[in-house]
Chains A and B, each alone.
Chain A
């Protein structure tokens, strides 16, 4: 494939154009040529979007960074002494470490299970001979169209001590007394993980389905002709071609889990004794439930940002083997 050279030369042209002979300012002359004017129009088109992105995304991020260096309650904020005080404070904040640990636990357990499950489901539903394919796909995708709050409420009702889950388990004699699902640390975390799996597996599956549609069927047929069984075909032929999708979903899931809020807030309210609270939920508590400490909350959000960035970088490094 050859690169089109013409557009490049037009944008480069103003730089090589000779300086205006008697002009008042060099910039006026820079855009006087046809190519220059085109470049100007190009910039005009870019400015609104760039300005919006700057004002809506980067400016708040920069302000949050400034905020994370400030201390004080309410609106009386002043720069901390030393500047990194809020970051230092985190080191001795037991709740911070506990919520960070819990969030990491969700990440380590839930994301791999979810992605493997989504892969398996996508493979099954990609089979052209499967009956009612569209219905299965819709059914599995549907949970992620449900409102985060309402599904959390439904899960909470189902896992109540007198809820559906206990009733069923009692009915089939798996347990002999109701389990207090949301009242114990391990089971509360388990319910959150289960909720996340239910809500997000279908979402990731759709990405894999889209990826599978793009795989040339002849490569899979070729593998079959060569005598590879289903598992080997999946491992050696399908998965390598799905790699960009797997990378994408892994990064999105990591990002999403580290920012987990709704489940922790609505499903378990962070309990018992804050043991199922996610770090984003803790951040909310610092900002709005207790006495607002926005400086500290901003510092924590920056730490989340760094963790997300580092994990994404690792995933890209590991996952992307393109030369």
Chain B
């Protein structure tokens, strides 16, 4: 009897072990018809429930009007997790775990397409008319002539200013429209002296403002072939000089984290902020400042070839995975994110998601004056700015470049020689590229 129990125990333990091992096998049912399993369902990975996930839900609703059987299964996945998941799935070759559609940060698009081409699908047929998107935005998701993404979130950069503080110092938004950085600094010094408030704030050592400046001239940290061009690059040196002047004159308040950055303008500690248009979501959390903000274009880097008043920061695009029901996915994206004014109008009102799709900008909803921004038709302005943003190559090593330049800015502000620090940044990126 006792022996029997012992063997039963052994057998039980062995069975559990086998079952545990079998868990790693994965679900065989995925794949074939796409990640959703049945032919009318698409799975989507996206972050931010109030913004991207909400937009997807609205798109589902719009698409269902003509395709009543259609369904979306949206899985909220923060950006860092999404990137980690994509990397591990690609690395392990478990491509049948991919969703049909996933959201991709524009700045990370090149990196992922170049490192893991096997996780993306080409847009099939002519479901999406890419000519209706700004060229600069398409460049993020285009690799070797093939476009892998439908641009969504608009990253066009604006200068948002507090009109009441400007007025106090005798300025208007017009004084900050179509100006150069020299004029911006001169105005900023005067306003700082009169009101005690710096013009801008930014996370210390962040290269955001620098990359915004660079793109406004059509320059990047990388050349067309993706090689780093941090050293001996007139635009980079000029942008670093402007940044240094901003900090040293006290016009740019450096803070340590994103929450502090948002806090600086929500708490009226600075006069303005320069950022991708998506920042207006954060600005509008300060309800007491309604009617006191306006937006305008960016200062121009004078003397630089190709200098404009327009640039971008951030933004994201929808990609179709290699495991997708790609016909349906492309048709869905083409009919909503790249083809429905009704859709963009509905998400604009409730989430402030501005379209990259140019025809959306012509609709009445975009021309609507925004009370918070003193009656300005901000969305129409932004779509119009977006068409004038110079196109650049972010390269596969955008994040390495950005981090190296961020470190260089910190050491330069601490007294290091500009050219030496930039040369070191260049060698850091080159080392990472080996």
Contact = CB atoms under 8 A, between A and B. Distances in A.
Are both chains from one complex? yes
Interface of A: 41, 44-45, 47-48, 51-52, 55, 73-75, 89, 92-95, 156-157, 160-162, 180-183, 269, 271-274, 285, 287-294
Given A45-B10, A290-B111, 17 more contacts: A41-B6, A47-B17, A48-B17, A74-B90, A74-B115, A94-B428, A160-B255, A160-B260, A161-B256, A272-B204, A274-B407, A288-B84, A289-B399, A289-B403, A291-B111, A291-B396, A291-B397
Given A41-B10, A271-B410, A291-B432, A156 B257 contact: yes
Nearest to A157: B259
A119 to B, nearest CB: 34
A257 B431 CA distance: 27
B131 interface: no
A139 B414 CA distance: 41
Contacts of A74: 90-91, 114-116
Interface string B300-337: 00000000000000000000000000000000000000
- Interface size class, chain B: 35 or more
B434 interface: yes
Given A92-B431, A292-B87, A273 B406 contact: yes
Interface of B: 6-7, 10, 13-14, 16-17, 20-21, 80, 83-84, 87, 90-91, 93, 111, 114-116, 118, 204-205, 254-257, 259-260, 263, 396-397, 399-400, 403, 406-408, 410-411, 428, 431-432, 434
B144 to A, nearest CB: 16
Given A74-B115, A291-B115, A273 B410 contact: yes
5 contacts: A160-B256, A183-B256, A271-B256, A273-B406, A289-B403
Given A48-B13, A75-B91, A288-B83, A180 B256 contact: yes
Given A160-B256, A273-B410, A292 B16 contact: no
A75 B431 contact: no
Given A51-B17, A182-B256, A183-B256, A272 B432 contact: no
A93 B87 contact: no
Contacts of A92: 431
A89 B131 CA distance: 45
B10 A271 contact: no
Contacts of A75: 90-91, 93, 115-116, 118
